[in-house]
Structure 1
Amino acid sequence: MRLIGLAGWSGAGKTTLLARLIPCLTGRGLSVSTLKHAHHRFDVDQPGKDSHTHRQAGAQQVLVSSAQRWALMTELRGAPEPALAELLRHLSPVELVLVEGFKRDGHPKIEVFRAANGKPWLHPEDPAIRAAAADTPPPGGLPHAGLDDIEGVADLVLRYAAPWPS
Structure 2
Amino acid sequence: MRLIGLAGWSGSGKTTLLTRLIPELAARGVSVSTLKHAHHAFDIDQPGKDSHSHREAGARQVLVSSARRWALMTELRETPEPSLKQLLTRFDPVDLVIVEGFKRDPHPKIEVFRQANAKPWLHPADSAIIAVASDTAPDTTLPHRHLDDIAGIADLLLQGAIPLRDVLQG
Verify same fold: TM over 0.5: yes
Normalized against structure 1, the TM-score is what? 0.98
Aligned-partner Cα distance in 2 for 1:21–1:29: 13
Aligned amino acid, residue 31 of structure 1: S
Aligned-partner Cα distance in 1 for 2:126–2:120: 12
Aligned amino acid, residue 96 of structure 1: L
1:18 maps to: 18
Aligned-partner Cα distance in 2 for 1:74–1:139: 43
CA shift for structure 1 position 3: 0.5
Aligned-partner Cα distance in 2 for 1:10–1:48: 30
Summarize deviations over 1:30-60 as a string: whole Å, max 9, x none: 1100000012311101111111111111111
2:58 maps to: 58
* Identity percentage of aligned residues: 72
Normalized against structure 2, the TM-score is what? 0.95
2:129 maps to: 129
Over 6 Å off, 4+ runs: none
CA RMSD of aligned residues (A): 0.9
1:16 aligns to what SS in structure 2? helix
Runs (5+) with no aligned partner, structure 1: none
Runs (5+) with no aligned partner, structure 2: none
Aligned amino acid, residue 129 of structure 1: I
Aligned-partner Cα distance in 2 for 1:9–1:28: 29
1:39 maps to: 39
